[in-house]
Homo-oligomer: A and B are copies of this chain.
Amino acid sequence: MSSSSTAHGRGDRAVKPPIRDALVAAAFRLFLERGYEQTTVDDIVALAGVGRRSFFRYFPSKEDVVFPDHERCLADMTDFLSASGDGDDPVRTVCDAARLVVRMYAENPAFSVQRYRLTKQVPGLRAYELSVVWRYERALAGYLRTRFAGLRDGTLRADVVAAAVVAAHNNALRSWLRSDATGDAEAAVDHALRHVQAAFGDVPVPPAGEDPEDVVVVVSRRGAPLWRVVQELEAALGRD
């Protein structure tokens, strides 16, 4: 047991926080106290009680300490997509992959809300976040391009679906962050992703007892907007 954990009076949970976590905690304390721009890497390492080289072993730059888990999450997403089978519905699979991101935010609501506020205030962090979002979107689009290979306009469909998934995910995630993490982030994202699955994805497995060969008939005026027809179709199919 280290003296520092005892000094915190938490001998029963005496695991000294890893250096990486200590750096993130120190950085956020300083960012909130002084502002992001006014905090240097030297300030962060002084508060965390480690050397500069330790900082750069974990984070390439000061921006990276703000988003400490995205690299892991991107790797998890890539692994998840690689592990999916040819029988899996592609749109459902990318929606499930996107859920890995909201889960990461929901694991640590207070930290996520702090970071959201910080990111809104600092243009450099906003730019960094856009580049992270872009990497998620390209991971999803890359998977869909493979699955849609051979389809007419396959890369176009892949890019559009990936963008729609990211937009729906982020709409729900940002609402949750703006609300100070009130309510269930994952349920909000699920609801948002159902819109995308309704527009582009498969139909859910029918409830037990229903004849899977049940037939739905839609009659439409030719002049009706397609989205209205799809809405009726969804209603007829018992989707929300």
- Name A residues whose Cβ lies closer than 8 Å to a Cβ of B: 89, 91, 126-128, 130-131, 134, 153, 155-157, 159-160, 162-164, 166-168, 170-172, 175, 192, 195-196, 198-203, 206, 210-227, 229-230, 233-234, 237
Contact = CB atoms under 8 A, between A and B. Distances in A.
Given A163-B163, A215-B221, A223-B203, A156 B195 contact: yes
A195 B160 contact: yes
B221 A213 contact: yes
21 contacts: A127-B127, A127-B128, A127-B131, A130-B134, A156-B195, A157-B195, A162-B167, A163-B163, A199-B230, A201-B227, A203-B222, A206-B222, A213-B223, A215-B221, A216-B220, A216-B221, A217-B217, A217-B219, A226-B234, A229-B233, A233-B233
A126 B138 CA distance: 14
Contacts of A134: 130
B153 A159 contact: no
Contacts of A221: 212-216
Contacts of A163: 163-164, 166-167
